[in-house]
Chains A and B, each alone.
Chain A
């Protein structure tokens, strides 16, 4: 680590040097460090520097570093936009290639939006090397910027038939990926792909196509029918395993989608299964694994055809590879039937014994339980067998799934009435041997089983043959070493047991025996009272008191058993998991309404403890009264009822006659009852080791059972009877959840259940955004933004760039493209020139040239005069603006020997009172500029938007520093109230110049000129809408005339479009109508006529001041011509 930090210091030094080679080398080292896990995000800016190196060697390293360490959160990423754009249009295909590769790794939504159009252009590059990269990267762009999909799709489709196989396969890849997410939009491509599939010989491509068809067929079954034949042919003919596997997979998918319609495809299923069998039998583990995987897919729809290979799958259980064994287990899960369940589970049990490694054993255990319990124990014909399996499983040491076993035991015991007797006897045995194992393996999860055992023995104590013995087992001192929640259940169920023993004894008149057992309880219970676990302690002390009280009664020879039993009257029944949710809210009940007024809430809470205290007092007094009569019992039940009535659903129905009991002292046993009800939700227990004898028995038993299977089936029917328990208690319980069936299969919902809620689809699915109908014609609003300058574009709505991609007449388009490229190159050269000379005039010069080239193009189309053609030419106009070099619309703001500032103002479409001022700072000196801060003197109307909390006198820091010769851009947002007048703001830029001699503080004053035109946003307008606007009559009119204009009319229009943000609506000969809109929604319409040497402009606008100011500005522009 020391060495590394030393290295990093070294690298930092190297990065500061001017030599780009040293820098690149440093960045390269950083990339390596990044791989080793060190954070190099601090060097992001240096990486960009290296990316922008002109030498390919360094550029390559820069892009590599960027692709390795940039991600969406990297803030400097936005600085790369222009660099990448420059590289994309580089004449060197490797520059372009490396930029594309890099971009594929760190593309962000912003980058995607800004560069989508460049990449689309590259899709038709002359070199296949670039084409294929561009095609592939489009997928990433689509993911980040879904709007680009529709405009780009036609071209993508073209690429499917590209002469170069690489490009073709790239296009297939992209469409396949797209189609897998949203297949329905790509159905129309099916015929094309079908052709490709039957003709292609490239396995890579074939696999993708086949995968694509796999995604399409569920939507279009007819396609599936057509596919089967070529696919089966492929399966027969191919030697490539990967292709074979893909085919089989797709055939399976096809068959699944067909299974409803076409029954006659068993041949293909057979073929698949055969091939899979070959895979599974292969010695290669990978093939084996995949074979099993595919097999499980077939299993879902055609279980029969798989079942015949049971032998093979059972073989796989012996495999060395755990993942293969697990796969085989999954398969077994689906393969069981009533017939083979016992056999399979027996096999599994053998594996459980053999298995080394707890994870696998645990997996086996859960699988056994899953297999048996699937679809409501559908395949179990004999529950005694199942219980003994469960008991056997408890012998597993170190398993984490004790609670699973316990839950199963409880579930079966509760839901299968007929099995209870057997279950209870088994559980009693478990309990009897519990401590032997529990003490050894106290830590492991298996002791959870004791929870179930205790509960079952207690709850169904009437089935217990030797209740005394069990009770004693539960009272052993060892029990106190169990986890608290299990002890709690123990305590609770002891009482149940005790109650039933008591009853038994009383009935047979053995009073002494009854007293003995009471004595036993009183002797042993204190060990629980001392428990550290609150629950255990509380229950134990309650019960201890109760029993002491009973003892007193017994001494007086009062029969108590009936009443003690009554404590636990009632039966527990399974309730469907959603039952509570399904109970409809009764009419008139508003669950959100306060039951009490909120302020009284606290009061009522205060009251509660009081009443509890009150009750307790009464309880004590009642203990002293030894009489318990019928009324007392009734009271208890009523009280219980009331407890349940606390359930919000019962507020309304709580019957008024019960009121009189509310203050009576019968509430004391309620806690006990409640706990009783909640018990079945948790389940603990413990394992034993001395069960081999028992197991032997069981095994014999099992064999016998297998023979008698048929007989047992009849038994099962008995089980199915519904059973309801009628006591006061259950009556009210019935209301809570009306599903009381004891049947195996009937975890019922309340009859009035509400329709079940469907699973919501994940709204965050990134691929959703790509669910776009591709067959619809392109709408204007969907066109890709044309890149001009980044700021310009981000602020404009896509509408303004709409015309870009329309009209697919290919030939003119290609020409245009070449043209554009030329222009762009030109632009770049000029950019450089301009940087050196930094003079305004040159810029104009250049523009003129551009416009001339524009003219040429336009003149080609001039001959057509239909309206469409005119609009198209207009569109070309905007198109041609696109390749303008980024700086072109920037005006000089201020300049001194250190720094030069140029700026551009753009309206903000989203906010009608904001404009964004983009300022480019260029460091002209040889020093380092830092701590730049820009401040403006706000006027009443126009204010700079400052971060919250800063005063109007504070400047805004420029978020970067400038090394010598570097320029960078910052944006400032201004808010305005009125936009009808041009304004000027005074401002100052302060900065620190740092060089070898030290640093000095410098200032540069400037005047920021907000022209009216900068409030306009280029907005396209169609001629009919334009006419309506003029007719509406609520526009003011004004006009100007400028003489001495010599430039061509097209040139002139372009000028107005560019400088004043207008768009041409219609043009006839030397007359044109133009339109624009202000950020505050003013419409501005112009009619421009050119006479000889003069131009007249008539304007109409909602606001006369704005119009006259605009016209003045225009006049100024034109007079310069």
Chain B
């Protein structure tokens, strides 16, 4: 997999993960282009499209589009599975996930994705294992947080809440 993007129906990017090194400028260009193309597609259309020399696989969950770019020989259906699995993971972790969860806890969403995929390849196919790893890492984080004074992630959440309304 080359990269994964999450964006809202309004075209606002919610998460991006690149597994190929690209400059910021290119990334921005690609993102803009893809968001436009994907949003323009009708719901009845199939989830695959050919774009440059890549294949784009996307799926819409509630108000969020999950969009992956894969190479020519890759299997589209398994990519859909991956997206679905990721959504399941988010769901389990946040407890019926919604867009706001991902905005306020975007770093968590990244951590989950990182546990699930690494370098664009599926790292762990078992949902249980992924969640276990995340929980333990979180636990570790909590411990170190208590040792430390107080600044916590929730503050970041507040900050990003402000960004949301830009």
A residues near B (Cβ < 8 Å) are 3-4, 7, 19, 21-22, 24-25, 28-29, 31-33, 35-37, 39, 41, 55-57, 60-61, 64, 67-69, 71-73, 92, 94, 97-98, 100-101, 104-106, 129, 132-133, 136-137, 139-140, 165-166, 169-170, 173-174, 177, 180, 202, 204-205, 207, 211, 214-215, 241-242, 245-246, 249, 285-286, 288-290, 320-324
Contacts and interface: CB of A to CB of B under 8 A. Distances in A.
B111 A60 contact: yes
B46 A285 contact: yes
A289 B156 contact: no
28 contacts: A3-B162, A4-B166, A21-B148, A31-B106, A36-B13, A36-B163, A36-B166, A57-B153, A60-B141, A64-B107, A94-B140, A98-B114, A105-B19, A105-B119, A132-B124, A137-B118, A137-B119, A166-B123, A166-B129, A169-B125, A170-B121, A211-B73, A242-B77, A285-B45, A286-B80, A289-B46, A320-B42, A320-B45
Contact of A25 (B31, B118, B156): B156
Name, among A24, A37, A246, the residue most crowded by chain B CB atoms within 10 Å (CB to CB): A37
B10 interface: no
Interface string B17-36: 11101111000100100000
A101 B117 CA distance: 9
Contacts of A289: 46, 48
Contacts of B53: none
Given A32-B160, A73-B23, A133 B123 contact: yes
Nearest to B122: A204
Query: Which are the 6 A-B pairs with shortest beta-carbon distances?
Result: A242-B77, A285-B46, A21-B151, A104-B119, A289-B46, A321-B45
Interface string B127-153: 001000100110011001101110101
Interface of B: 13-19, 21-24, 28, 31, 42, 44-49, 73, 75-78, 80-81, 106-107, 110-111, 114-115, 118-119, 121-126, 129, 133, 136-137, 140-141, 144-145, 147-149, 151, 153, 155-156, 159-160, 162-163, 166
Given A61-B107, A320-B44, A321-B44, A139 B125 contact: no
User: Looking at chain A's contact residues, is the secondary structure mostly helix, strand, loop, or mixed?
Assistant: helix
Contact of B75 (A22, A25, A31, A245): A245
Contacts of A249: 75
B133 A97 contact: yes
Contacts of B15: 35
A174 B126 CA distance: 18
A290 B118 contact: no
A850 to B, nearest CB: 32
A55 B46 contact: no
Contacts of A41: 24
A392 B23 CA distance: 49
A21 B151 CA distance: 6
Name, among A71, A211, A245, the residue most crowded by chain B CB atoms within 10 Å (CB to CB): A71
Name, among A60, A173, A215, the residue most crowded by chain B CB atoms within 10 Å (CB to CB): A60
Contact of B114 (A71, A101, A242): A101
Contact of B78 (A19, A73, A101, A242): A242
A104 to B, nearest CB: 4
Given A29-B156, A173-B122, A246-B78, 4 more contacts: A56-B141, A64-B114, A71-B23, A290-B77
Contacts of A33: 163
Contacts of B156: 25, 28-29, 32
A403 B28 CA distance: 35
B70 to A, nearest CB: 12
B22 A56 contact: no
B131 to A, nearest CB: 13
Contacts of B133: 94, 97, 129
A809 B31 CA distance: 50
A57 B125 contact: no
Contact of A139 (B24, B45, B121, B140): B121
B44 A207 contact: no
Nearest to B71: A180
A28 B153 contact: yes
Contacts of B144: 55-57
B16 A285 contact: no
A887 B110 CA distance: 36
Contact of A29 (B73, B81, B159): B159
A31 B48 contact: no
Nearest to B143: A56
Contacts of B147: 55
Contacts of B162: 3, 7
Nearest to B145: A57
Nearest to B156: A28
B118 A3 contact: no
Nearest to A166: B124
A239 to B, nearest CB: 13
B107 A31 contact: yes
Given A286-B76, A322-B45, A323-B45, A28 B137 contact: no
Contacts of B16: 35, 68
B50 to A, nearest CB: 8
Contacts of B163: 4, 7, 32-33, 36
A88 to B, nearest CB: 14
A68 B47 CA distance: 26
A174 B125 CA distance: 15
Nearest to A139: B119
Contact of B126 (A39, A61, A166): A166
A734 B77 CA distance: 57
A204 B46 contact: no
B121 A174 contact: yes
A322 B14 CA distance: 28
Given A21-B151, A211-B75, A323 B141 contact: no
Contacts of A73: 23
A671 to B, nearest CB: 45
B73 A180 contact: yes
Contacts of B149: 21
Nearest to B124: A166
A132 B141 contact: no
A32 B145 CA distance: 21
B151 to A, nearest CB: 4
A3 B164 CA distance: 12
A133 B21 CA distance: 19
Nearest to A210: B75
A180 B71 CA distance: 11
A139 B13 CA distance: 29
Contacts of B106: 31-32, 35
A35 B160 CA distance: 11
A98 B140 CA distance: 13
Name, among B126, B140, B149, the residue most crowded by chain A CB atoms within 10 Å (CB to CB): B140
A204 B137 contact: no
B125 A166 contact: yes
Nearest to B155: A25
Contacts of A55: 144, 147-148
A918 to B, nearest CB: 28
Given A35-B106, A323-B49, A94 B125 contact: no
Contacts of B136: 94
Nearest to B110: A64
B80 A207 contact: no
A285 B75 CA distance: 16
A61 B46 CA distance: 37
Given A56-B140, A92-B140, A290-B76, A202 B46 contact: no
A94 B137 contact: yes
B148 to A, nearest CB: 6
A790 to B, nearest CB: 21
A322 B24 CA distance: 32
Contact of B47 (A28, A173, A286): A286
Contacts of B77: 241-242, 245-246, 286, 290
A288 B76 CA distance: 12
Given A37-B13, A133-B118, A166-B124, A286 B46 contact: yes
A61 B141 CA distance: 11
Contacts of B78: 204, 207, 242, 246
